């Protein structure tokens, strides 16, 4: 047993885990390998998608686009100045109002009314080419309604606002570039005409309404003026205005009130003097009356002065001459006379004061009455002023309304005559020179992307829908041990570059792909796949077969299987090639090995060794040949061959005979190992019969060909008859797939050994000795 065999050996079945180590989550490399394997499908899908897209695109009708650029303002130009407002209001100036206005205009451009105007102007409802009528049907064709033709025109045009501007583009798409240009300009003109008509119609309606309102305002103004004039006439407000009259009354009230106050003060003063005089006169001494109380009368003042002088003189004479002095008597007489005169004069003054008081009272009463009269007149004027103001205010309001309506009517009349528009054709449509649809480059790019997506999807779907045997886990799911893998011999041969490399030569340049040219063998001939392990002992196939040999040894170290049956679920799965190469690997370990061809229905082993035998196991069972005549020594050391011989008509009955069992027993006694090649177990019963005569059965499953259902059926057949299934071998495995070629990947990780030295051969012999015993 060689060192690299030990590296490639998995644990014995009793200790082998149910599944090989694998990633916990999805392995991205698995998908990458799937895409590599299905690259042809992906490429074909992309090519078909691109080809179909190119074919369809080339057959599509070319569509040309004509474009008109409009400038849309929210207000028409104010030719009459900023003070003259437009009759028809557009945008208000706020952002959201303008947005609504522009969106409304875009909808108007694409409206049926604008399209109907175009249809009427160009008479498109009578144009069979516009209506899409085939030429052979135009003879009896009749014009359609304008609405129907307008619907077609609506489908041809689109409106595109230019971002961050007041511009809008009108696109018309049509197979005929000249018609596209004609229709685009016609749509723009129809929209401008409609907008101008809407503005003019609004202005005309406004003028009519303003005229009616102006007549009503004029009537109301005349009525209010007549009412105001009649009121002024009835209340004598024609010569002097009511305000002037009110001012005059106010001045009179103020003057009368002042005079009344003065008269009242004068009366009070006179009354006070009278009271003072009356109070002193009650004493009988007229000299005690104050002079100012008597209105400073000069007579009284003279009398009092004279009385004072006489009194002074009387006092002087009385002290000197006494009371009887003539001068004193004369003075007394004068003083008496003066007193009488003074009394009389005082009485006259009192009478005058009473008269003056009566006059003051009369004056006060007159002024008071005059003040009352003026107050009543002022109240009456105020009341008249209220009614006057009401009538004047009504007249003023009617006059303002009339003037406003008159001015607005004149402005509307001028606006109606101006015919200004807030829409302008900035760039008329030109004749398009290139089609906008179909876009070949874009369509092909999309087809390539979609084809790639579809191809990848199909590849992954097909891969996961594939129920063939591909991995060790698939084989262990059948409930049997995994003995190993056999790589695809054609792949191994192609990648080697030269089979001289198998004999220690220099490794040539690596070649990729299953379709690489098959390289020459030792003598310049194509390699013999059945003897590949013998011809190329350092190849990956040889390593794999030696690993299978070692696994068979470790299946039961104490009692190794000496008679091994090799079968498969169905034909064309490589069981014969595997049986030959495993037998060669066993023989290379030093064990005397006999390869028995028990596939009596389609025997092939003899051709692998270039033999044309006339005898074999069939003639031995029938007693027509001996052991020496039937068994052939091959070019492989320690490997002998017992061919099938002539194929019997009833192989199953032949295998049921005692003679067949005796032959098997005789062969077992002569050789260390017996390898039987049998027909597929799921096709005929030969393998089931042979499985009862051997120590164990090895099931060969071809990678990516043997279905899981067929493999399960084969194992169930063997279990039902109690056969000892040693395990399964995954044959013809694609070593480029890391997941499918687990052990190959394991070897690649650690490298191949460059030679097999004598120590390996000695180890193989040491391994064989206990097996033979």
Give the chain's length.
Answer: 773
Among 700, 742, 674, residue whose Cα is nearest residue 471: 742
> Which residues on neighbouring strands pair with residue 593, listed in sequence order?
639, 673
Q: How far is CA 598 from CA 184, 646, 647, in A?
A: 88, 11, 10
Contact status, residue 451 vs residue 45, Cβ threshold 8 Å: yes
Distance in angstroms (rounded) separating the CA atoms of residues 574 and 731 = 7
Structure tokens at 152: 């077609």
User: Which pLDDT score, from 0 to 100, does residue 303 have?
Assistant: 76
Q: What's the distance, Cα to Cα, between the start and end of the chain in Å?
A: 17
- Percent of all residues in the chain with a pLDDT value above 90, rounded to a whole number: 43
On average, the pLDDT of the chain sits at 80
Distance in angstroms (rounded) separating the CA atoms of residues 238 and 235 = 8
Q: Is the pLDDT of residue 324 over 60?
A: yes
Name the pLDDT band for 771 (thresholds 50, 70, 90).
very low
Distance in angstroms (rounded) separating the CA atoms of residues 630 and 649 = 20
Q: Is the pLDDT of residue 645 over 70?
A: yes
- Percent of all residues in the chain with a pLDDT value above 70, rounded to a whole number: 79
Q: How many CA atoms are closer than 13 Å to the CA of 562, on its beta-carbon side?
A: 19
Q: Across residues 685-699, what is the average pLDDT?
A: 94
Element (H, E) at 463: helix 440-465
Structure tokens at 189: 């003109």
Q: Across residues 133-148, what is the average pLDDT?
A: 89
Count the neighbouring beta carbons within 10 Å of the beta carbon of residue 247. 13
Distance in angstroms (rounded) separating the CA atoms of residues 124 and 152 = 10
3-state secondary structure of 695: coil
The single residue listed with the structure tokens 């109907």 is: 116
Convert the pLDDT of each residue in 630-643 to its tens digit. Answer: 999 999 999 999 99
3-state secondary structure of 70: strand
Distance in angstroms (rounded) separating the CA atoms of residues 726 and 565 = 9
Among 69, 49, 67, residue whose Cα is nearest residue 57: 49
Contact status, residue 349 vs residue 377, Cβ threshold 8 Å: no
User: Which pLDDT score, from 0 to 100, does residue 558 have?
Assistant: 77
Q: How far is CA 407 from CA 82, 85, 207, 214, in A?
A: 15, 11, 11, 10
Contacts of 134 (CB under 8 A, 6+ apart): none
Q: How far is CA 574 from CA 489, 600, 678, 689, in A?
A: 11, 16, 12, 21
Q: Is the pLDDT of residue 7 over 60?
A: no
Q: Is the pLDDT of residue 619 over 90?
A: yes
Ranges 299-308, 530-539, 555-564: which has the least confidence: 299-308
Element (H, E) at 641: strand 639-642
Could you write out the DSSP letters of every residue in 736-767?
T-TTT-HHHHHHHHH---S---HHHHHHHHHH
82 vs 660, higher pLDDT: 660
User: Which pLDDT score, from 0 to 100, does residue 85 have?
Assistant: 57
Q: Which residues of 556-573 are buried (b: 16+ CB within 10 A; e: fewer)?
A: beeebbbbbbbbbbbeeb
214 vs 627, higher pLDDT: 627
Convert the pLDDT of each residue in 718-767 to its tens digit. Answer: 999 999 999 999 999 877 655 454 444 444 443 333 334 433 444 454 44
DSSP 429: P
Ranges 402-406, 690-694, 714-718: which has the least confidence: 402-406
Q: Across residues 471-495, what is the average pLDDT?
A: 85
Name the pLDDT band for 304 (thresholds 50, 70, 90).
confident
Structure tokens at 106: 């875009």
Name the pLDDT band for 496 (thresholds 50, 70, 90).
low
Convert the pLDDT of each residue in 121-140 to its tens digit. Answer: 999 999 999 988 888 888 88
Structure tokens at 406: 């008159």
Q: Is the pLDDT of residue 82 over 70?
A: no
Would you call 386 exposed, middle or buried from its count of C-beta atoms within 10 A (0-12, 13-18, 19+)? exposed
Would you call 372 exposed, middle or buried from its count of C-beta atoms within 10 A (0-12, 13-18, 19+)? exposed
Q: Is the pLDDT of residue 92 over 60?
A: no
DSSP 511: -
559 vs 456, higher pLDDT: 456
Convert the pLDDT of each residue in 163-208 to its tens digit. Answer: 989 999 999 999 999 999 999 999 999 999 998 888 777 667 777 7
Among positive and negative, which fits the CA dihedral 521, 525, 530, 534? negative
Among 374, 376, 389, 370, residue whose Cα is nearest residue 242: 389
* pTM to 2 decimal places: 0.49
Structure tokens at 507: 């490794």
The single residue listed with the structure tokens 């057949």 is: 717
Distance in angstroms (rounded) separating the CA atoms of residues 694 and 664 = 9
User: Which pLDDT score, from 0 to 100, does residue 253 have?
Assistant: 82
Ramachandran region, residue 646 (left: φ > 0; alpha: ψ -120 to 50; beta: rest): beta
Q: Is the pLDDT of residue 60 over 70?
A: yes
At residue 577, φ and ψ (nearest 5 deg) are -60, -45
Q: Is the pLDDT of residue 412 over 60?
A: yes
Contact status, residue 595 vs residue 564, Cβ threshold 8 Å: no
User: Which pLDDT score, from 0 to 100, does residue 13 have?
Assistant: 40
């Amino acid at each position: 047993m060689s060192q690299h065999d030990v590296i490639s050996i998995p644990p014995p079945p009793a200790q082998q885990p149910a599944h090989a180590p694998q990633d916990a989550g999805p392995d991205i490399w698995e998908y990458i390998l799937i895409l590599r394997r299905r690259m042809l499908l992906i490429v074909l899908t992309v090519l078909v998608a691109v080809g179909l897209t190119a074919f369809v695109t080339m057959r599509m009708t070319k569509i040309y686009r004509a474009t008109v650029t409009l400038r849309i303002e929210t207000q028409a130009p104010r030719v009459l100045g900023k003070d003259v407002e437009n009759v028809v209001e557009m945008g208000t100036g706020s952002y959201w109002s303008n947005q609504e206005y522009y969106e409304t205009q875009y909808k108007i451009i694409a409206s049926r009314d604008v399209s109907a105007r175009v249809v009427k102007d160009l008479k498109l409802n009578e144009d069979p080419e516009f209506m899409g009528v085939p030429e052979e049907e135009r003879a009896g064709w009749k014009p359609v309604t304008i609405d129907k033709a307008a619907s077609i025109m609506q489908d041809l045009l689109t409106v595109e606002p230019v971002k961050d501007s007041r511009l809008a583009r009108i696109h018309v798409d049509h197979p005929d570039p000249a018609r596209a240009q004609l229709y685009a300009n016609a749509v723009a003109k129809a929209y401008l005409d409609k907008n101008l008509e809407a503005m003019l119609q609004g202005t005309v309606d406004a003028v009519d309404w303003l005229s009616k309102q102006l007549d009503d305002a004029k009537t109301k103004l005349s009525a209010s003026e007549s009412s105001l004039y009649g009121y002024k006439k009835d209340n004598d407000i024609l010569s002097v205005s009511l305000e002037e009259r009110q001012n005059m009354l106010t001045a009179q009230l103020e003057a009368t009130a002042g005079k009344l106050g003065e008269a009242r003060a004068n009366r009070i003063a006179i009354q006070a003097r009278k009271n003072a005089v009356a109070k002193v006169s009650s004493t009988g001494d007229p000299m005690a009356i104050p002079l100012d109380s008597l209105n400073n009368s000069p007579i009284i003042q003279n009398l009092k002065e004279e009385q004072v002088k006489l009194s002074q003189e009387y006092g002087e004479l009385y002290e000197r001459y006494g009371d009887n002095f003539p001068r004193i008597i004369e003075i007394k007489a004068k003083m008496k006379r003066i007193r009488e005169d003074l009394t009389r004069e005082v009485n006259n003054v009192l009478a005058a004061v009473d008269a003056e008081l009566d006059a003051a009272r009369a004056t006060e009463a007159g002024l008071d009455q005059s003040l009352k009269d003026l107050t009543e007149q002022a109240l009456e004027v105020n009341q008249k002023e209220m009614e006057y103001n009401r009538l004047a205010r009504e007249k003023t309001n009617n006059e303002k309304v009339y003037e406003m309506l008159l001015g607005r009517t004149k402005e509307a009349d001028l606006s109606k005559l101006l015919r200004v528009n807030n829409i302008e054709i900035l760039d008329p449509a030109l004749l398009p020179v290139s089609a906008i649809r179909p876009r070949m480059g874009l369509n092909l790019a999309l087809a390539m992307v979609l084809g790639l997506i579809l191809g990848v999807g199909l590849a992954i779907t097909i891969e996961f829908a594939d129920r063939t045997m591909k991995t060790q886990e698939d084989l262990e799911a059948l409930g049997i041990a995994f003995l190993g893998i056999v790589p695809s011999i054609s792949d191994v041969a192609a990648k080697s570059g030269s089979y001289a490399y198998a004999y220690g030569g220099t490794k040539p340049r690596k070649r990729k792909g299953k379709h690489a040219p098959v390289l020459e063998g030792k003598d310049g001939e194509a390699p013999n796949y059945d003897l590949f392990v013998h011809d190329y002992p350092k190849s990956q196939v040889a390593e794999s077969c030696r690993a299978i040999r070692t696994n068979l040894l470790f299946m039961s170290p104490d009692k190794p299987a000496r008679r091994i049956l090799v079968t498969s679920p169905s034909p064309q799965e490589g069981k014969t090639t595997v049986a030959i190469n495993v037998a060669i690997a066993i023989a290379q370990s030093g064990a005397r090995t006999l390869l028995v061809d028990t596939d009596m229905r389609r025997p092939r082993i003899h051709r692998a060794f270039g033999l044309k035998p006339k005898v074999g196991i069939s003639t031995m069972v029938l007693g027509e040949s001996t052991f020496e005549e039937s068994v052939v020594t091959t070019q492989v050391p320690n490997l002998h061959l017992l061919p099938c011989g002539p194929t019997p008509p009833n192989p199953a009955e032949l295998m049921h005979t005692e003679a067949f069992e005796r032959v098997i027993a005789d062969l077992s006694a002569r050789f260390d190992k017996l390898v039987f090649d049998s027909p597929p177990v799921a096709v005929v019963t030969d393998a089931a019969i042979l499985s009862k005569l051997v120590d164990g059965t090895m099931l060969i499953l071809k990678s990516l060909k043997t279905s899981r259902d067929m493999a399960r059926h084969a194992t169930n057949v063997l279990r039902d008859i109690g056969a000892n299934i040693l395990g399964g071998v995954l044959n013809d495995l694609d070593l480029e797939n890391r997941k499918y070629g687990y052990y190959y990947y394991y070897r690649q990780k650690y490298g191949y050994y460059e030679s097999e030295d004598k120590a390996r051969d000695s180890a193989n012999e040491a391994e064989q000795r206990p097996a033979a015993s």
